[in-house]
Structures are given as C-alpha cells and as structure tokens.
Amino acid sequence: MEGVLKVNKALCDVCGTCVSVCYVSAIVVKEFEINIDNEKCIKCLNCVKVCPFEAIEEEK
C-alpha cells in the first residue's frame, strides 16, 4: 500500500478542482479546507495531477 495523500495548505487555493476528478468522492471541501479521506482513497492520483498549485502530496 502506498502512502497517504496530504494537502499542503501553504499551496492549496481551495479551488475544488481535486474534488471534481475524484471517482470515489474521497475529497470534500469543508470549512474552506480540502479534506482527503484516505480510507476511501484508491490512490489513482488524479487529484495530484490536476491540482493547479501541486498542493497534494503523497506521504510515504
């Protein structure tokens, strides 16, 4: 199993692009922050690829 995905808040613009490409609805915007549910996440890394500021990082 790969590492978990984490949002680097210093880079995140809370634009929601990551939410729109998540097939398993593992990402939500909550109180102006992006939340990734790593239990649901299937590590397709779509969110990592489309984040305009590359704010989603895989923690090994």
Partner 1 sequence: MIKQIAPYYDVIVIGGGPAGAVTARYAAENGASVLILERDREVGIPVRCAEGVSVTGISPFIEPDEQWICTMIKGASLHSPDGNYVEMYNNGDGYVLERRIFDRALVDLACSKGATILTKADAIGFVKNNDGEISGVQYRYLGKIYSVNCKIIIGADGIESQVGKWAGINTTIKLEDLETCVQYTVNNIKVNPELCRFYFGREVSPGGYLWVFPKSEYSANIGIGICGIETKPNIGPLYYLNKFIENNYPNASVSYTVGGGVPTKHGTDFVADHVMLVGDAARQVNPITGGGIVQAMIAGRICGETCTKALQANDFSKKFMSEYEKRWDKVLGANQRFMYSVKSSFIKMSDKKFNSIVGAVKSINQDELNLHALFKVALKEEPMLVAKMATSFLASKIKFDW
Q: How far is the CB of 55 from partner 1 (least distance, A)?
A: 9
Phi, psi of 31 (to 5 degrees): 45, 55
- Positions that interact with partner 1 (CB under 8 A): 13, 15-17, 19-23, 25, 28-29, 31-32, 46, 49-54
1 contacts: CB under 8 Å, gap ≥ 6: none
Q: How far is the CB of 9 from partner 1 (least distance, A)?
A: 14
Cα diameter, the chain? 30
Kindly tell me which of 3 and 52 has the beta carbon lying closer to partner 1: 52
